[in-house]
Chains A and B, each alone.
Chain A
Amino acid sequence: NAGVTQTPKFQVLKTGQSMTLQCAQDMNHNSMYWYRQDPGMGLRLIYYSASEGTTDKGEVPNGYNVSRLNKREFSLRLESAAPSQTSVYFCASRETGTGNEKLFFGSGTQLSVL
């Protein structure tokens, strides 16, 4: 039972470089999310996808793009990384239509931008 799988676990980038964080879930969930966690800020929503083929902005979308490749996969792209994007990134998924608000999280990606 893999649940939500994120890759890579760690990444160091130079300012201006680009990269894509990958996320896949095997629970057949409709909704998927990308959060970032920063000290003293809690978890903040970057983007989410309520269903395959749809994406919407969250609280802090600037500097990011997302792709809902299919029902299983939801990727987060940094086109030109900035030091302010140094953070821990979490992907999550949720079953919808049941009133169940419970999010299932991946183990996170620690990103440092120098």
Chain B
Amino acid sequence: DQQVKQNSPSLSVQEGRISILNCDYTNSMFDYFLWYKKYPAEGPTFLISISSIKDKNEDGRFTVFLNKSAKHLSLHIVPSQPGDSAVYFCAASARAFGNEKLTFGTGTRLTIIP
């Protein structure tokens, strides 16, 4: 039972354009969401997070949007750069209910075309 889903295994975007990565979840107890970025042969690194009390969080070129009613979040990267080419994982946890373990999605491989 995949509680966090990333339905697009891969995405290609032209350099300078906007990249939009999507994530859906099924567990209504999730109240904290994170995005991780992973380069080949490296561990995932934290990118940006959002609490369920917000619907948007921005950090430089990266913005995460949360739609609680649709159980959907998205990561926007503007403008996209070649160094953004990586696998992106969405993750969720249910902090308010004492579950502090992260549940990860299957990942989306983003390729930025120069």
- Residues of chain A having any CB pair with chain B under 8 Å: 4, 31, 33, 35, 40-45, 48, 50, 58, 90, 92, 94, 96, 99, 101-108
Contacts and interface: CB of A to CB of B under 8 A. Distances in A.
A101 to B, nearest CB: 5
Interface of B: 4, 6, 9, 32, 34, 36, 41-46, 49, 89, 91, 93, 95, 100-107
Nearest to A44: B104
Nearest to B5: A42
Contacts of B102: 45, 101, 103
Chief secondary structure at chain B's binding surface:
strand
Contacts of A4: 43
B94 to A, nearest CB: 11
A31 to B, nearest CB: 7
A42 B105 contact: yes
A58 B106 contact: no
A40 B49 contact: no
A48 B101 CA distance: 9
Contacts of B36: 103
